[in-house]
Amino acid sequence: MRKLISSFIKYIKIEKGYSGHTIRNYESDLKQFSKFVASKKDIKKGDPGIDLVDYMLIRSYLGELFDKCRRTTIARKLSALKSFFRYLELRGLAAFNPAVEITTPKQEKHIPTYLPIDDMFALLEQPDKEKELGLRDLAILELLYSSGLRVSELVTLNIERLDLDSRLVRVSGKGGKERLLPVGRKATVAIKEYLEHTEKTRKKAGYSKTQGPLFLNYRGGRLSARSVNRLVKRYSKECGIIMEISPHSIRHTFATHLLDGGADLRSIQELLGHVNLSTTQKYTHVSIDKLMEVYDKSHPRS
């Protein structure tokens, strides 16, 4: 099974162009399943044959996951198995797809965490503009809120992808799909100021004014997603935000504030880079909740 998993991972990376995040998850999921099969079939070498896998074995595997994992995680692991066996079946490496008839578990309804406007503005006031790292952090927060980027899109962003005169940024999203996004005026000013103050740092790190990573760490290398997550959490605590937030919460905030401001779902779908409108529709729940709250406070017969 190890060789087949390796072949499949190469296929989704080179031919299908899946994102690095998806590739890592699928590889981990399939290796986990391989270990499960080996344990159930008493394979001492730990590398079972594909012919040992059937419908009931996969059901048993998923059943064990229900006590350990969220339904979204189980759905992803099942998706990895379905894609893997479909790949094997199409190439004549497996007689059939034992996962094809298994239904994806029903997902829990999840309303995204987002910040009210006052809290979001308070968060943007936290970075120290007198320091280089403070200017960087402000530019990060402004860009996340201005354009609704995923943290993975933010940290892989290069300077040449920005057109600050036109206030546009080109990002590479899931599956390598590109989209062109507007950049807010405040975010544009913050990014320009950050770039002006980091010219020496960039030169020392071997980058030019117009090329290389947009956001750098204190050593001059590309900033990591983990670092962005840490700084968002730190600033949220400093300004007294009680709820647990992350860079993705700012993306939710971006979408919710647009919807509350009158933007239509199709436009928000394009800006977020969602393939399906149903993914974007979760933001309507947030707005309906807000609408009901206003109604309850305002209507004399509520």
Of the candidates 82, 202, 252, 274, the residue annotated as catalytic is 274
Count of beta carbons in the 10 Å neighbourhood of residue 75: 16
How far apart, in whole angstroms, are the C-alpha atoms of residue 106 and residue 220? 45
Of the candidates 114, 145, 194, 283, the residue annotated as catalytic is 283
Of the candidates 70, 174, 179, 233, the residue annotated as catalytic is 174
How far apart, in whole angstroms, are the C-alpha atoms of residue 151 and residue 184? 18
Q: Do the beta carbons of residue 78 and residue 107 sit within 8 Å?
A: no
Q: Two tokens at 297?
A: 């406070």
Of the candidates 77, 251, 252, 257, the residue annotated as catalytic is 251
Of the candidates 77, 82, 136, 150, the residue annotated as catalytic is 150
Largest CA distance in the chain: 72
Question: Is 283 a residue of the active site?
Answer: yes
46: phi > 0 → left, psi -120 to 50 → alpha, else beta; which? Answer: left
How far apart, in whole angstroms, are the C-alpha atoms of residue 36 and residue 40? 6
Question: Is 252 a residue of the active site?
Answer: no
Question: Is 274 a residue of the active site?
Answer: yes
Of the candidates 16, 161, 197, 248, the residue annotated as catalytic is 248
Catalytic residues: 150, 174, 248, 251, 274, 283
